[in-house]
A and B are shown apart, each in its own frame.
Chain A
């Protein structure tokens, strides 16, 4: 950090990382992450043309603002083409990006081929726009990046609400009278702005990476837009600083590539450990839900078993038989009730035992008092929904079990209340209503119902 040059580079890439993280989070949500890719490629013919024009007219061809103007012009032309193809033809966004990227870049390559034959003016270094020269960034570049970042920040804060609406619900934004096309153009112009100053400073690949990776990584941590934008800015800045410093310490490593690698390391960290959408977080949430469902299935199965202790005795199936709490239910019987395997059932029993809902001894399970209340409550919910389906949705009694099975786990208290009210009107409410269909093991109950 003592070195002046290193400081310039670190400062420059930090600001660039921040502002592209900001712009990138909008384009990511707009599902246009690769827009930066297409635009960066599309700027090449503008650069070459600006150089040719300037040299032909006798000016210095590599005068930076002129090249930037050329790049911006052809970048904006590229945006126009992409929007035109997307809105006016039957082609989709990705194809529009692909067409503009390859055709514009092709034109740029052709023009560069001609530029290299020019006797006046030294064309060498124009490729810097594509490969970048991160390690030799000048104070001038940093100043440009600073101004561009200021504009990007100011514009996106001033239009934060509008951009948010555009990203999440374009149609709604249009119906509320927001100028959707104009906002789209504004967003794309921000991308062009950031990409153009960044392109000549750090090169094409790093620019694309900065526009995509921090925003994609930030998405894993939150579901709120302003937080995501903030995280994305932070990730972009920190990734750039670390990458630039690593490559300053090991001068062999190209700084642009190191920044990309640091950022993608952040991305993978976020992908796995992000709190909102990370893989681990989603896995845990899913497992918690599965366990809850298993628990509820177990409790209901217990209740149904003790309701009818002897299933071969059909007289026990008649409505209104009182369940006996202390009845012991063998695990074999429970296994038959639904298609769960022994391991899963035992896991559910063990966790219910920890919560003192049941006792398990010698292959037999028995509900505790708390467990009995819980089981009765769950069974009641299940049967209320079944009654509701039969009464109001005209579903055949043989078919309601499965439907209720899916929904019972997500019934909220106020839904139960509403169900009770509805069924009370029909005078169908019982403390725990009896099952509206014959009980059997999960595999045969529906068949029994269908057969005459």
Chain B
């Protein structure tokens, strides 16, 4: 990593790379700010739809203004972007069409319309739809303006304005956005229009999409609308924290993406590649990390938690079976007997036994036998189980033959205070409904 960074710094080519990273970060941050709300409102595909759909706006602006004035095109594109959202909503509500389908109808139709308009104007305009899709973030630093004696890329200025706008929007309307995203009906009863918030959000999404793809290409902005917010959603339940994380992830993927664009192709003998693509890929990798290892919802984390729970229950069941066998003075079940009774593979029984032996709760390898510590654990479980059975019969009048499965499930989650309470409610019984003795509480 150090070498990589060293290489990269030595490659630093004037201020070009710096500006690319700055512009990428500005675009990523401003898109991800709004992206949180798109993800929460299940409108993640809107960014994609808008960036495809703005073509007729650009073409119409060209027809009307007659020049390639970027301001006119910007306004035209934003208007059509907003129209995409409006039409989608309109078809969804008027035609009762699924949201995704109405979006698909709208943006493909608008794109086709734009293509036809562009072809009609082809004789005197050199608008290239490819430029719209790929963007040219690598060329942005060359298009500069002078501000107070500083040479700054135009894209940096435009995107800074967009970022400030989005930031102000999110901060000023945080409460309104939050409520209208989670509960539009509540928002309406609280006296502000969820619809107005929706369309305000749409205006800003359009502005961000158009401003970004004009300078950095649609793929980056589409990715930044969705991926950082999705990654942040895997990490937290709080909206403010989610927004914070999403911006950090967005900025990180923009910066790392540029390094990747410069470095990764050289491993395969290429020079470097377009920057926007790797930025999107890095954000995807960061999402993968968050999805796998997020503290609460990460797939791996959840898997480990579930596995450890099922291990604990398996161990519980084993000691309880051994305890019961000892109690009835029947033969201790061997490995095969345990596997048979617990519907577990002999491998998992074997490893559970190993774990129990490590903890000093059983002894003997072929014929497992409870140690005093194991007996304590088993007694707690069996006591919980039989108290529950007693409770179900006494308090809820359940039939004796139907109580076992409930008690079997709850015994693993019953602690000392709950047992005492059960004991008190059922008036300290000595035997359970099946006639088995209820073991006494362990002495501390």
CB within 8 Å of B: which residues of A?
A: 28, 31-34, 36-37, 85, 88-92, 94-95, 97-99, 101-103, 105-114, 117, 127, 130-131, 205-206, 208-209, 211-213, 215-216, 219-220, 252-254, 256-261, 264, 267, 271, 277, 279, 282
With A34-B104, A106-B284, A277-B96 known to touch, is A92 a contact of B133 (CB < 8 Å)? no
Contact B223 A106 (CB under 8 A): yes
Contact B116 A101 (CB under 8 A): no
Contact B119 A97 (CB under 8 A): no
B contact face: mostly helix, strand, loop, or mixed:
helix
When chains A and B are docked, how far (Å) is the Cα of A209 from the Cα of B98? 15
A contact face: mostly helix, strand, loop, or mixed:
helix
Q: Can you sample 17 A-B contacts with CB below 8 Å?
A: A89-B299, A92-B42, A95-B230, A95-B233, A99-B230, A101-B222, A102-B225, A102-B226, A106-B276, A106-B280, A117-B271, A131-B130, A205-B52, A213-B105, A216-B102, A253-B119, A254-B116
Question: What is the CB-to-nearest-CB distance from B200 to chain A, in angstroms, rounded to a whole number?
Answer: 21
Contact A114 B108 (CB under 8 A): no
Contact B52 A95 (CB under 8 A): no
B234 at the interface (CB under 8 A from A): yes
* Chain B residues positioned under 8 Å from A206 (CB to CB): 108, 112
Contact A28 B98 (CB under 8 A): yes
* Chain A residues positioned under 8 Å from B99 (CB to CB): 94
Question: What is the CB-to-nearest-CB distance from B97 to chain A, in angstroms, rounded to a whole number?
Answer: 6
Number of chain B residues close to chain A: CB under 8 A? 65
* Chain B residues positioned under 8 Å from A88 (CB to CB): 291, 299
Within 8 A of A (CB), among B97-147: 97-105, 108-109, 111-113, 115-116, 119-120, 129-130, 133-134
Contact A113 B45 (CB under 8 A): no
* Chain B residues positioned under 8 Å from A213 (CB to CB): 104-105, 108-109
Question: What is the CB-to-nearest-CB distance from B241 to chain A, in angstroms, rounded to a whole number?
Answer: 15
When chains A and B are docked, how far (Å) is the Cα of A80 from the Cα of B158? 38
Starting from the known contacts A97-B44, A260-B111, 15 additional A-B residue pairs (CB-CB under 8 Å) come to A91-B39, A91-B233, A92-B42, A95-B44, A97-B45, A98-B227, A98-B230, A107-B281, A109-B217, A252-B119, A254-B115, A254-B119, A260-B108, A267-B109, A277-B96
* Chain A residues positioned under 8 Å from B278 (CB to CB): 106, 110
With A34-B103, A103-B227 known to touch, is A98 a contact of B47 (CB < 8 Å)? yes
When chains A and B are docked, how far (Å) is the Cα of A259 from the Cα of B45? 23
Contact B134 A109 (CB under 8 A): yes
* Chain B residues positioned under 8 Å from A261 (CB to CB): 109, 112-113, 116
9 nearest A-B residue pairs (beta carbon): A106-B280, A110-B277, A103-B284, A113-B273, A212-B104, A102-B223, A260-B112, A98-B226, A98-B44
When chains A and B are docked, how far (Å) is the Cα of A102 from the Cα of B109? 21
B149 at the interface (CB under 8 A from A): no
B413 at the interface (CB under 8 A from A): no
Question: What is the CB-to-nearest-CB distance from B158 to chain A, in angstroms, rounded to a whole number?
Answer: 22
Contact A103 B268 (CB under 8 A): no
Within 8 A of A (CB), among B185-231: 217, 219-220, 222-223, 225-227, 230
B432 at the interface (CB under 8 A from A): no
Question: What is the CB-to-nearest-CB distance from A169 to chain B, in angstroms, rounded to a whole number?
Answer: 16
Scoring B residues 398 to 412 as 1 if CB is less than 8 Å from chain A, else 0, what string do you get?
000000000000000
Closest to B271 in A: A117
* Chain A residues positioned under 8 Å from B225 (CB to CB): 98, 102
B265 at the interface (CB under 8 A from A): yes
**CB < 8 Å: which of A31, A264, A277 contacts B100?**
A31
Contact A264 B105 (CB under 8 A): yes
Within 8 A of A (CB), among B372-419: none
**CB < 8 Å: which of B100, B119, B222 contacts A34?**
B100
Contact A113 B280 (CB under 8 A): no
Contact A37 B45 (CB under 8 A): yes
**CB < 8 Å: which of A95, A208, A253, A254 contacts B104?**
A208
When chains A and B are docked, how far (Å) is the Cα of A254 from the Cα of B111? 12
* Chain B residues positioned under 8 Å from A108 (CB to CB): 277
* Chain A residues positioned under 8 Å from B363 (CB to CB): none
Closest to A88 in B: B299
Question: What is the CB-to-nearest-CB distance from A212 to chain B, in angstroms, rounded to a whole number?
Answer: 3
* Chain A residues positioned under 8 Å from B364 (CB to CB): none
Most chain A C-beta atoms within 10 Å of own C-beta, residue among B95, B283, B291: B95
B270 at the interface (CB under 8 A from A): yes
When chains A and B are docked, how far (Å) is the Cα of A194 from the Cα of B291? 31
With A94-B100, A113-B273, A213-B104 known to touch, is A258 a contact of B116 (CB < 8 Å)? yes
When chains A and B are docked, how far (Å) is the Cα of A10 from the Cα of B279? 40
Closest to B229 in A: A95
* Chain B residues positioned under 8 Å from A94 (CB to CB): 42-45, 99-100
Contact A208 B108 (CB under 8 A): yes
**CB < 8 Å: which of A92, A95, A103, A112 contacts B281?**
A103
B261 at the interface (CB under 8 A from A): yes
Most chain B C-beta atoms within 10 Å of own C-beta, residue among A92, A102, A267, A277: A102
Contact A212 B297 (CB under 8 A): no
When chains A and B are docked, how far (Å) is the Cα of A130 from the Cα of B129? 11
When chains A and B are docked, how far (Å) is the Cα of A259 from the Cα of B109? 10
Contact A90 B115 (CB under 8 A): no
When chains A and B are docked, how far (Å) is the Cα of A105 from the Cα of B48? 11
* Chain A residues positioned under 8 Å from B227 (CB to CB): 98-99, 102-103
When chains A and B are docked, how far (Å) is the Cα of A205 from the Cα of B219? 15
Scoring B residues 332 to 374 as 1 if CB is less than 8 Å from chain A, else 0, what string do you get?
0000000000000000000000000000000000000000000
When chains A and B are docked, how far (Å) is the Cα of A370 from the Cα of B414? 73
Contact B291 A85 (CB under 8 A): yes
* Chain A residues positioned under 8 Å from B222 (CB to CB): 98, 101-102, 105
Question: What is the CB-to-nearest-CB distance from B102 to chain A, in angstroms, rounded to a whole number?
Answer: 7
* Chain A residues positioned under 8 Å from B37 (CB to CB): none
When chains A and B are docked, how far (Å) is the Cα of A254 from the Cα of B115? 8
* Chain A residues positioned under 8 Å from B230 (CB to CB): 91, 95, 98-99
Most chain B C-beta atoms within 10 Å of own C-beta, residue among A90, A112, A259, A282: A90
B274 at the interface (CB under 8 A from A): yes
When chains A and B are docked, how far (Å) is the Cα of A91 from the Cα of B100? 16
Contact B233 A90 (CB under 8 A): yes
* Chain B residues positioned under 8 Å from A110 (CB to CB): 261, 273-274, 277-278, 281
* Chain A residues positioned under 8 Å from B280 (CB to CB): 102-103, 105-107, 109
